Amino acid sequence: MSEVRDVVIIGSGPAGLTAAIYTARANLRPLVIEGAPSSSSDQPGGQLMLTTEVENYPGFVNGIQGPELMANFRAQAARFGAELLTEKVTRVDLSAPPFGVWVGDDEFRARAVIVSTGARSLMLGLENERKLLGYGVSTCATCDGFFFRDQEIAVVGGGDSALEEALFLTKFATLVTVVHRRSELRASKIMQDRAFRNDRITFAWNSVVTDVLGDGLLRGITLRNTVTGEESELPVGGLFVAIGHVPNTDLFTGQLDMDDAGYLITEAGSTRTNVPGVFASGDVQDHVYRQAITAAGSGCMAAIDAERWLEAQPEQAIEMATPTNW
């Protein structure tokens, strides 16, 4: 704990693990604090851990399963010597280098920190939604779709995540209603085409969820039409929410500059935050692109930014791993 490391990387999605690969290969012996297991998207491996097929990550002609892709990233980082700790960072002190990063009482000190904590899925924020988590309300379509065989399900959202989940769930459900607050989807054209062509998917347009119904077990949701104001009840046995993401930046409030939505601000064309020696990569600082490949690219940039910054520090000599202990 008293050893000062060159680099600590917080988060282990595509951004964090790519940064790990590059910093490890630069002999910076990075420590990746991966995050703790969870059923929502802030977990080791990040958002792709909750998907099935990833078809748009370049290099995989026939697609690859999300968890498998992340296992590959992780193994590659480990291969080059990145140290991986499957815990969640509880506190940071970025006031001056060496920066402090805590997991409970365990303290880690680093000359450079790469923040790649990503983003987590938004919930509706309704009390009964929380109460019925695990009893019809689910945060993981791939985990729980199985339990809704021959039932009717609702998926809330209008982007690629919502449509991917809806399409996946048609394997089990008799009917999937995609509930979207506008009359147009923001998903990619290819996903829209697939959803429109699927017999088991129907759409509730211009609709917002006003309540989640059920006592001990989900039985339905109430909707309000944003155009007419009309309220209706949709009986469903399963509810999945895919309305967007919020960046995991609570740890950095008051320490790193962030925009109104909580995304970390980085200097254009780089991963530098307002604190010299602290770099941010991936979805935590991107609400425009938010793809695995852009996150990975950003992770590489952070590694290179960090390496160059460390080299430029006058008082520290970077220890190169020498084969004296072979």
Partner 1 sequence: MATDIITALTDSTFDEAVASSTEPLLVDFWAEWCGPCKLIAPVLEQIATENAGALRIAKVDVDQNQQIARRFDVMSIPTLILFKDGIPQLRVVGAKGKGQLLEELKAFL
Which residues contribute to the site for partner 1 (CB under 8 A)?
36-40, 43-45, 49-50, 66-67, 86-88, 104, 133-136, 138-140, 142-144, 146-148, 217
To the nearest whole angstrom, how small is the minimum distance from the Cβ of residue 70 to partner 1?
9
Which is the catalytic residue, given 42, 93, 106, 143? 143
Which is the catalytic residue, given 6, 42, 93, 140? 140
Say whether 143 is catalytic.
Answer: yes
The amino acid that residue 296 corresponds to is A
Q: Which is nearer to partner 1, 52 or 206 (CB)?
A: 52
Say whether 300 is catalytic.
Answer: no
To the nearest whole angstrom, how small is the minimum distance from the Cβ of residue 279 to partner 1?
25
Which is the catalytic residue, given 144, 160, 283, 286? 144
Phi, psi of 223 (to 5 degrees): -120, 150
To the nearest whole angstrom, how small is the minimum distance from the Cβ of residue 36 to partner 1?
3
Q: Which is nearer to partner 1, 166 or 264 (CB)?
A: 166
Q: Which is nearer to partner 1, 40 or 188 (CB)?
A: 40
Pairing of strands 119-121, 245-247: antiparallel
Q: Which is nearer to partner 1, 292 or 301 (CB)?
A: 292
3-state secondary structure the chain: CCCEEEEEEECCCHHHHHHHHHHHHCCCCCEEECCCCCCCCCCCCHHHHHCCEECCCCCCCCCEEHHHHHHHHHHHHHHCCCEEECCCCCEEECCCCCEEEEECCEEEEEEEEEECCCEEECCCCCHHHHHCECCCEECCHHHHHHHHCCCEEEEECCCHHHHHHHHHHCCCCCEEEEECCCCCCCCCHHHHHHHHHCCCEEEECCEEEEEEEECCCEEEEEEEECCCCCEEEEECCEEEECCCEEECCHHHCCCCCECCCCCECCCCCCCECCCCCEEECHHHHCCCCCCHHHHHHHHHHHHHHHHHHHHHCCCCCCCCCCHHHC
d(CA 32, CA 11): 7
To the nearest whole angstrom, how small is the minimum distance from the Cβ of residue 115 to partner 1?
19
To the nearest whole angstrom, how small is the minimum distance from the Cβ of residue 144 to partner 1?
5
Q: Which is nearer to partner 1, 217 or 227 (CB)?
A: 217
Q: Which is nearer to partner 1, 90 or 255 (CB)?
A: 90
Say whether 140 is catalytic.
Answer: yes
Residue 163 CB partners (closer than 8 Å, separation 6+): 178, 185, 187, 191, 192, 194, 195
To the nearest whole angstrom, how small is the minimum distance from the Cβ of residue 149 to partner 1?
10
d(CA 295, CA 278): 17
Q: Which is nearer to partner 1, 86 or 232 (CB)?
A: 86
To the nearest whole angstrom, how small is the minimum distance from the Cβ of residue 211 to partner 1?
20
Q: Give catalytic residue positions.
A: 140, 143-144
